[in-house]
Amino acid sequence: MKKIPLKFCIMITTVALAAMLAGVWLAVTYRENDSRAMLLPTQGMALFPDPKSLSDFALTDHQNRVFDLANLKGKWSFLFFGFTHCPDICPTTLAVLARARENIAKSTVGAENIQFVFVSVDPNRDTASKLRQYVGYFDASFVGVTGDNAQIASLAGQLGATYRVAITPGVENYPVYHSTAVFLVDPQARYHAVFTPPLDAEAISRRFKVVRELEGNNAA
């Protein structure tokens, strides 16, 4: 085996050290500047430096009421796209979100100004009454919404949520594929941040607190 020259080792070590120092410098600088683009210490969340305003869409909630852009204004919204015939990822995520909500409610941030929205991409099977039973099981405050395909696509598209419903004639349990991220929309109905798996209730509530501290009253 060819021996790695000492010079090369030194060079690699230098580059690695420089990168580490640059990382520390960046983190400190962003923290000092109170910038939204602050690099959070661990992975799992992306905060957008320039939150994108969402445009109108029209869905229906689990009580058969209209759920549109106006429902995203005035509070922070956590949105997750899924379907109720989903034995693994959806209940796991909703249980995590219920715990995150509990943490937020208990913290100084409080839960008065937040809502959790489960968007079903499977309106064919997920009726309002089905959604009511489903989301209510995880947390009484959770909102379940769905609607016609074009309207779901409108909201999903604006958040970059992807999904595919593989309806197969004669197959009751057709597969549905969907993104696993949790999208955070701010009280001005702007797409503000995204939480990516692996999702963890403590991390979500902690990071949400950081977002609120960074925002101060700007977005409230």
Partner 1 sequence: MRWRHPAVVCLIAALGLVPAAGKAEGVSVREAWIREAPPGVAMMAGYMALRNNTSQSQVLVAASSPDFETVMIHRTIVKDSMTGMEHAPQIELPPKAGLLFAPGGYHLMLLNPKRTLRAGDRVDINLEFRSGLRLPVTFEIHK
Q: Which CB sits closer to partner 1, 62 or 212?
A: 62
| Lookup: tokens for 10 | 């030194």
Q: What is the DSSP letter of 108?
A: S
CA distance 132 to 124: 15
What angle (nearest 5°) sits at the alpha carbon of residue 57, between those of residues 56 and 63? 130
- Angle value at C-alpha 130, between 124 and 134, nearest 5 degrees: 120
Binders of partner 1 among 90-119, rule CB under 8 A? 91-92, 95
Interacting residue with partner 1 among 133, 149, 202, 213 (CB under 8 A): 133
**Phi and psi, residue 96, nearest 5°:** -65, -45
Which phi and psi (to 5°) does residue 102 adopt? -60, -45
Q: Between 57 and 86, how does the x/- string for binding to partner 1 read (CB under 8 A)?
A: ---------------------------xxx
Question: How many of the chain's residues bind partner 1 (CB under 8 A)?
Answer: 27
125 binds partner 1 (CB under 8 A): no
Q: How far is the CB of 84 from partner 1 (least distance, A)?
A: 6
List 17, 137, 157, 220, residue binding partner 1 (CB under 8 A): 137
Single residue of 112, 198, 216, 217 touching partner 1 by CB under 8 A: 198
Q: Strand (E) positions, 22-71?
A: 45-53, 58-61, 66-68
Q: Single out the segment in contact with partner 1 by CB under 8 A; choices: 20-28, 39-47, 72-80, 160-168.
A: 160-168
> In the structure encoding, which two tokens stand for residue 182, read together?
């949790």
Alpha helices in 55-200 (DSSP H): 89-106, 128-138, 149-159
Under rule CB under 8 A, residue 140 binds partner 1: no
Closer by beta carbon to partner 1, 35 or else 162: 162
| Binding positions for partner 1, rule: CB under 8 A | 84-89, 91-92, 95, 130, 133-134, 136-138, 162-164, 173, 175-180, 197-198
